[in-house]
């Protein structure tokens, strides 16, 4: 772990990714590293994209601008935890592909991401960004999963 200096935390703005961001920022602080937050906006399937194209060519840029605004408080929170400036990137594309490409191009030491912990049919139907990133990333991947709270014992 001593060689880890550059961290990429992939976010989808869920509570799971907030936990991943907090962990990545804490690792950045402890290891005197650099952190970049990454959000990949999934593009619609090609048939949907073709149908939507005539509506407005600026739609994607508007969405990306709004996502950059959404990213700002996440970046501020990460910087506060890390005790240093944090960078962020918002880009369109396939989340798993773009996370892996980003990690490769930036020579990232560790990718940190959250997972919803889906299993079985839900995972098969929805696919798993985390699973693909773990298999394809050029570096270690730290997957953060929210701990489930223990069920309360029935009261009588």
CA distance 16 to 8: 15
Of 93, 92, 103, 155, the C-alpha closest to 133 is 103
Is 147 a member of any domain? no
Q: Which residues of 67-83 are buried (b: 16+ CB within 10 A; e: fewer)?
A: beeebeebbebbbebbe
Domain-located, residue 151: no
User: What are the structure tokens assigned to 99, written together?
Assistant: 């996370």
Task: Judge whether 94 lies within some domain.
Answer: yes
* DSSP letter assigned to residue 5: -
Q: Is residue 71 part of a domain?
A: yes
pLDDT per residue of the chain (156 residues) written in tens, 0 to 9:
558 999 999 999 999 899 999 999 999 999 999 999 999 998 876 655 555 555 555 888 888 899 999 999 999 999 999 999 999 999 999 999 999 999 999 999 999 999 875 655 555 544 588 889 999 999 999 999 876 544 444 444
Whether 156 is covered by a domain: the verdict is no
In a domain, residue 1? The reply is no
The answer to whether 88 touches 74, Cβ cutoff 8 Å, is: yes
Which residue range forms the structural domain that includes residue 65?
8-128
> Quick one: pLDDT at residue 52?
54
Residue 150 lies in a domain: no
Residue 62 belongs to a domain with what CATH number?
A: 3.40.50.620
How many folded domains does the chain comprise? Answer: 1
């Amino acid at each position: 772990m001593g060689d880890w200096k550059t961290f990429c935390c992939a976010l989808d703005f869920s509570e799971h990714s907030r936990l991943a961001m907090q962990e990545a920022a804490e690792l950045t602080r402890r290891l005197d590293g650099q952190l970049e937050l990454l959000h990949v906006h999934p593009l619609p399937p090609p048939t949907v994209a073709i149908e939507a194209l005539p509506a407005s060519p600026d739609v994607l840029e508007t969405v990306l601008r709004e996502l950059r605004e959404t990213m700002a408080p996440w970046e501020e929170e990460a910087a506060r935890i890390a005790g240093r400036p944090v960078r962020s990137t918002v880009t369109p594309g396939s989340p798993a592909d773009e996370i892996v490409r980003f990690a490769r191009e930036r020579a990232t030491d560790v990718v940190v991401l959250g997972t919803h912990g889906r299993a079985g049919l839900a995972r098969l139907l929805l696919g798993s960004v985390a699973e693909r990133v773990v298999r394809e990333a050029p570096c270690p991947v730290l997957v953060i999963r929210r701990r489930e709270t223990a069920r309360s014992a029935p009261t009588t």
